[in-house]
Structure 1
Amino acid sequence: MQQMRRYAAGIAIAAAVGAVAFWYATRAVPVSIVTPKRGDAAEIVYASGVVEPRVWAKVTSTVRERIVEQCNCEGERVEKGAVLARLDDTEARAILSELQARLSLAQEEYRRKLALAERNTISEQTVDRARTDVAQLEALIAGQEARLAAYVLRAPSDGRVLRQDGEIGEVAEPGTVLFWVGEPRPLIVEAEVNEEDIPRVEVGQNAYLRSDAFPERALEAVVDSITPKGDPVTKTYRVRLRLPEDTPLRIGMSTDVNVVVRLSRNALVIPAAAVSGTRVAVVEGGTAKLREIETGIRGTDGVEVLSGLEETARIISPLSPDFADGTRVDVVQTATN
């Protein structure tokens, strides 16, 4: 009797498990649906860029020396050749004075030996050596005078001092930019485009920009030029984009650049999350049917549908890759596309 009770209990448990499994396998899966919409589909090339003036130059020091004088001219216009800063040239001038003193002695020695040579008391070779000493010192003085010019930093062209760095008393390192001189308008965006994308980028293409400084504002630019030689280390090409005169962007701002390389007007578009490979799931009644579609432009948010889908179709979004054809579904939300 006890054994029969155990058998009965086992059968009851198995029946319950089977019922749960059947319910689980045949239950309606809750899904969200969207319908396709008409709009513009754009194929884009992404890059990051920085806003710069079209015309500008960096002013750097070529010697390592302390700053002793500096203009207070940031934001002001300057003429070409205007003195922007002076570096301590005390040591350089001391060297020049020493060379000039040596030259005076060498010249006096040359004149003395020249007079002796006229009386045939010394050889011509001795006079030539004295003449060579004078010429060498003259060359050293000319070089030192040229080096002294490097201790004065001048504006390379007419323009506005866009930025000024360094303070009096600081040591200017060779290659360190102390002044940026240029015109604040027009502005460009200098962007770096990956080498696999650069064949699709052409001069004249439109671009849409996004800047953290203006998150709600639509910003536009036009591809102005492409540097012929890429960087083999970063595997990028420099692309310059022309900004409109009324752009709110400022020099030095960073931007996300989306260059429109192909545009399809009035295209049938569905969310990218609704497509798994080339398949979508269309809800018909309470069942989902998988369909193959032909796609065109694929963006991060949307996919252009060329064929295989009606405009009134109710498609599941998002669609998981393992979604099975014929699955019973329960529409719990109609999302906006």
Structure 2
Amino acid sequence: MTRRQVTTGLVVLAAVAAAVLLIRVLGPKGGGEEEIATDVGVHVGKIVRATLHRYVTAYGTVEPEPPGGGRPAGGAQVSAPVGGILTEIACTEGRPVERGALLFRLDTRLAEVAVAKAEKELAAAEQTYERQKKLLAADGTSQKSFQEAELGLATARSELATARTELALLEIRAPLAGTVVRIAARIGQAVEPNAVLAEVIALDRLVVTAQVPSRDAAQLKAGQPVVWGDGTGSAGEVLVVGRDVDPKTDTVLVRASLPRDSGLRPGTFLTVRIVAEERRGVLAVPEESVVPGPEGGPVLMMVEGDKAVPRPVKTSLKDAGLVEVAGEGLAEGQVVVTTDAYNITGETKIHLLDGKQAP
């Protein structure tokens, strides 16, 4: 081996030794040293007792109450019973009317002439009858003449009643107390018999008619509360749960009442929630407090001292941001991690984000 080769080998060994020394000085700590402890900032809440509900959601349309139970329908189309020229509109869209109030009037001139003529004929028939009655008492007339006078009187009375009825038919009145929601006629229009002139609806007698999936309809029955919107207003109730399933949509008709003060209008598309179950006084926590555990089941992040400890639980109803929980050792008032529960895996040291110490 030459001197040059020996020198090169020594240089390589020196470089390797330096590298090993550098790794020992700057490299990771040995396994015997402790890792830096985790400390997670969290928000907390408490286990509470609450009343929770399970809802069946349905989509339907607001309609007038149908007839039933001895009550008339809550709405009606106002039609002309006879034909004629419309001469007066006595109602206004959006305004309330009483039952029997005049809504429309057709041309009454010919009918009024017929009534006046019938009244005169009745007066003449009454005079003839009274005269024949007196003569018959004095044997001054025949029984046949008296009977003819009697028949003439009855005929005159009938003809006057008919004339007055025909005149009354030209005055079209409200069939129920309610609000005029639509007028479909104008003055001077030639109206055909049975033509729809307006629609009157009792806005305090509305229902929602909805279609519910058949699998959910089995949970429903008359009398169950019905809410809509944010659920803070007055509740209605289920009136009818249909027995037939629509084979095309696999749904069942459900009709529910609406409160008198609902403020809704016919034709409104409405999402309603039917209270299918109510559970009172159950233990509940914010939904975000329950997260999937290592084995996939739900766990509740309990606050114990300065640590968050996962506890297996069973969950049930969810309502208004709360979820019903059950598990060993759970009690009202215990503190749980809320919005930050997903950031915690296993038992973890915590502190409150508002700067306070964890309970």
CA 1:15–1:84: 2 relative to 1, 3 Å: farther
SS in 1 for 2:243: coil
Matches within 5 A, 1:236-251: 236-245=251-260, 247-251=261-265
Residue 280 of structure 1 corresponds to which residue in structure 2?
300
**How many residues were matched structurally?**
247
Alignment of 1:67-82 (within 5 A): 73=91, 74=93, 75=95, 76=97
Closer, same or farther: CA 157–243 of 1 in aligned 2, 3 Å: same
Q: Which residue identity lines up with residue 164 of structure 1 in the other structure?
A: R
Alignment partner, residue 311 of structure 1: 332
Normalising by structure 1, what TM-score?
A: 0.57
Q: For the residues of structure 2 that align with 1:320 and 1:249, how far apart are their CA atoms?
A: 42
Per-residue displacement from partner, 1:200-237 (whole Å, max 9, x unpaired)? 111111122226xxx9x523111111232344444433
The answer as to whether partners of 1:275 and 1:319 remain within 8 angstroms in 2 is no
1:264 equivalenced with 2:279 (yes/no): yes
Q: Secondary structure at the match of 1:273?
A: helix
Deviations 1:128-153 (A, max 9, x none): xxxxxxxxxxxxxxxxxxxxxxxxxx
Choose from 47, 54, 60 the match for 1:43.
54
- Partners in 1 of 2:286 and 2:23 — Cα distance? 50
For structure 2, list consecutive stretches of 5 or more residues without a partner in the other structure.
Answer: 1-13, 66-73, 80-85, 107-171, 187-195, 292-296
CA shift in 2, pair 1:77/1:193, >3 Å: same
Structure-2 change in CA distance of 1:293 and 1:237 (3 Å)? same
Q: Which amino acid aligns with 2:333?
A: T
Give the counterpart of 1:29 among 25, 33, 40.
40
Preserved CA contact (<8 Å) 1:162 1:184: no
AA of the residue aligned to 1:42: H
- Residues of 1 paired with 2:346 and 2:198: CA distance? 66
- Kindly indicate whether the alpha-carbon contact (under 8 Å) linking 1:296 and 1:304 is maintained by their aligned counterparts in 2: yes
Structure 1 or 2, whichever has the larger Rg, is 2
1:292 aligns with 2:292: no
TM-score (normalised: structure 2): 0.54
Q: Corresponding residue for 2:156?
A: none
1:203 aligned to 2:229? no
SS at match of 2:218: helix
CA apart distance, 1:36? 0.7
> Percent of counterpart pairs with the same letter?
22
One-letter amino acid of the structure 1 residue matched with residue 314 of structure 2: E
- Does the residue aligned with 1:197 lie in a helix, a strand or coil? helix
CA RMSD between the two structures: 4.4
For residues 8 and 56 of structure 1, what CA distance do their matches in structure 2 show? 96
Query: Matches of 1:230 and 1:58 in 2, distance apart?
Result: 30
Where does residue 117 of structure 1 map in the other structure?
none
Q: Which one of the candidate residues 64, 71, 89 is aligned to 1:53?
A: 64
